Amino acid sequence: MFDLAQIRNDFPILSREVHGQPLVYFDNAATSQKPTAVIKSISDYYDSYNSNVHRGVHTLSGEATDAYEGARGQIGRWFGITDPGEVILLRGATEALNLVANTIAGELKHGDVILVGETEHHANIVPWQQLESRLGVRVVPIPVDRTGMLDLESAKMLCAKHPVAVIAIGHVSNAIGALNDVEGFIALANENKAFSVIDGAQAAPHMLVNVKNLQADFYAMSAHKCCGPTGIGALFARRELLERLPPWQGGGDMIDRVSFSGTTYNELPWKFEAGTPNIADTIGFSAALQYLESIDFVAATAHESQVHKYLVDSMLSRNTVDVLGNPEQWVSVCSFNVKGSHPTDVGTLLDQLGIAVRTGHHCAMPTMEYFGLPGTVRASIAFYNSVEEVDLFLDALDRVTRMLAH
Ligand code: PMP
């Protein structure tokens, strides 16, 4: 049974006030809040067994290594992966996507086309653009439709016209919340012998993702949007692919032997993890997934979908706001503008009433350009949010709308 009151107690921050009002935290797409279990797992590490991992002969190093590598195994299993060599731990989705672009660069040739969703976060656009001048490849956007979905049929036409070597798309767009047809895009990439690269940053917090079943070449995500700490995330990729690709960064841990006559590299996954890893936050990341498991994540996401639907339906029925997109499958986000008002003014006034939302371009400037907007106000729901909070938000929004009209 999903007990919302109990779940909210697990998140100390949810009971604080902002400007004398109860906090309504609707900025989950930027980062989620953290339950006590995650905070405690990190302080336990520093309190009891803080030490560097790998190669240590002393007890603390052994304990830290076991916890770090145990966390990797658990993180992989959550995403349907049993081979820890296919789980690269790094700073988050941004670093994961940069790693992919930089390591597959050697497999691309002059004139190749990289298809990138028009609604991508900048983290899934800019690393590809950086290859353009270096390699003579070309980034071509996959068009978005008015509902906010990436158009698979247009992508098929682009594949028929160009030598497409990479298809890079978001599983869920962060500015709109559209759940894209990832299976369709991955199949299209496979048919064209192109790499499929999926940015799962906004999907992983809201649904169980089995990366093995998806059969994407690369899947990137960040822990901090899934109740875990910031500065840690994962890249999942097939072993044979990772074995073929060169390491990206050089340093400790990623080597087998170093000599001025030639250096050899470590096995997977460490070949892609140069330097001291983020041990504490990897432990916190794993604790976050264990927490999600403990609360019945599927029930939690079902509750979240109901709250999100209530929010979206209420917003669509208001003639004072314009909602961005209207995708068939819509996850967590409601991006909107109050008619005649600037998003920053709306967000700032909502904050005065205790409501935390994000305003601006949401690191998705091409999305804003397509819809002809400078930015939006974005409310985004997590499983710990309630229908009552949506009501508080709607009341506050109506007040703000009236204030801005005068
Ligand atoms: N992709 C998407 C869709 C995102 O929403 C974000 C975070 N806003 C990122 C990538 C980047 O993730 P991170 O900041 O954790 O590297």
**94: Cβ below 6 Å to ligand 1?**
yes
**378: Cβ below 6 Å to ligand 1?**
no
35 domain-assigned: no
**Rounded CA separation 157/153 (Å):** 6
Q: Domain check: are 133 and 230 in the same one?
A: yes
| CA gyration radius, the chain | 22
Q: Model confidence over 127-137: pLDDT tens digits?
A: 999 999 999 99
Domain end marker among 292, 307, 332:
292
Instruction: Tell me which residue of 292, 272, 276 sits closest to 284, measured CA to CA.
Output: 292
Structure tokens at 178: 């559209």
Q: Domain check: are 352 and 278 in the same one?
A: no
75 domain-assigned: yes
33 domain-assigned: no
pLDDT of residue 210: 98
Q: Domain check: are 274 and 301 in the same one?
A: no
Contact in structure between 201 and 225 (CB atoms under 8 Å): yes
132 domain-assigned: yes
Range of the domain at 253: 40-292
Q: Domain check: are 74 and 161 in the same one?
A: yes
Structure tokens at 17: 């006030």
Domain harbouring 54, CATH code: 3.40.640.10
Q: Domain check: are 237 and 309 in the same one?
A: no
Q: Domain check: are 353 and 255 in the same one?
A: no
**389: Cβ below 6 Å to ligand 1?**
no
Instruction: Tell me which residue of 363, 385, 378 sits closest to 325, measured CA to CA.
Output: 378
Contact in structure between 112 and 326 (CB atoms under 8 Å): no
Q: Model confidence over 299-311: pLDDT tens digits?
A: 999 999 999 999 9
Q: Domain check: are 233 and 255 in the same one?
A: yes
Catalytic residue selected from 159, 226, 227, 363 = 363
- Burial label for 310, CB within 10 Å (0-12, 13-18, 19+), is middle
161 domain-assigned: yes
pLDDT at 158 over 80: yes
Domain harbouring 307, CATH code: 3.90.1150.10
Indicate the top mutation candidate among 89, 202, 232 to test ligand 1's pocket, ranked by most ligand atoms within 8 A of CB.
202
Q: Domain check: are 279 and 306 in the same one?
A: no
Q: Domain check: are 63 and 176 in the same one?
A: yes
pLDDT at 337 over 90: yes
Q: Domain check: are 94 and 14 in the same one?
A: no
Longest alpha-carbon distance in the chain: 75
Domain end marker among 235, 270, 292:
292
32 domain-assigned: no
Q: How far is the CA of 121 from the centre of ligand 1 (A)?
A: 7
Q: How confident is the prediction for the chain on average, in pLDDT?
A: 98
31 domain-assigned: no
pLDDT at 1 over 80: no
Residue where the block lists tokens 């890249």: 235
pLDDT of residue 324: 98
**99: Cβ below 6 Å to ligand 1?**
no
Structure tokens at 37: 């279990």
Ligand 1, atom nearest to 96 Cα = 16
Q: Domain check: are 82 and 167 in the same one?
A: yes
* Whether pTM exceeds 0.95: yes
Q: Domain check: are 169 and 137 in the same one?
A: yes
Q: How many domains does the chain have?
A: 2
Contact in structure between 248 and 300 (CB atoms under 8 Å): no
230 domain-assigned: yes
Q: Model confidence over 21-69: pLDDT tens digits?
A: 999 999 999 999 999 999 999 999 999 999 999 988 999 999 999 999 9
Q: How far is CA 202 from CA 209, 251, 292, in A?
A: 11, 31, 16
Domain end marker among 266, 292, 318:
292
